Amino acid sequence: MTTGGGGVEEPTAGGPARHLPVLLAEVLAALQPAEGDIVVDGTFGNGGYTRAILNAGASVIAVDRDPSAVATARELASAYGGRLTPVEGRFGDLAAIVATHGGTVDGIVLDIGVSSMQIDTAERGFSFQKDGPLDMRMGPSGPTAADVVNRLKIGDLARIFGFYGEEKQAGRIARAIVARREERPFERTLDLAGVVGKVVGRSPKDKIDPATRSFQALRIYVNDELGELARALVAAEHVLKPGGRLVVVSFHSLEDRIVKRFLRDRSSPPSGSRHLPNLAPVSQTFVARNKAVAASEEEARRNPRARSAKLRSGVRTNEPARGGSDALDFAALPSLADLPESGD
Please report, in range form, the residues annotated as the binding site for S-adenosyl-L-methionine. Answer: 47-49, 64, 91, 111, 118
Q: Report the alpha-carbon distance of residue 112 to residue 114 in Å, rounded.
A: 7
Q: Which residues belong to the annotated binding site?
A: 47-49, 64, 91, 111, 118
Stated as kind and residue range, the H or E segment containing 33 is none
The answer to whether the Cα torsion of 210, 213, 217, 220 is positive or negative is: positive
Give the C-alpha distances (Å, rounded to integers) separating 272 from 9, 20, 264, 308, 322: 41, 45, 16, 36, 20
Using alpha carbons, select from 81, 41, 82 the residue that is nearest to residue 246. Answer: 41
- DSSP structure string for 130-165: S--BS---SSSSS--HHHHHHHS-HHHHHHHHHHHS
Q: Report the alpha-carbon distance of residue 327 to residue 43 in Å, rounded.
A: 22
Q: Report the alpha-carbon distance of residue 166 to residue 147 in Å, rounded.
A: 21
Three-state DSSP at 57 gives: coil
Q: Report the alpha-carbon distance of residue 82 to residue 189 in Å, rounded.
A: 41
Rg for the chain, CA atoms, rounded: 20
Query: SS in 3 state form for 272-323?
Result: CCCCCCCCCCCCCCEEECCCCEECCHHHHHHCHHHCCCEEEEEEECCCCCCC
With beta carbons less than 8 A apart as the criterion, state whether 177 and 186 touch: yes
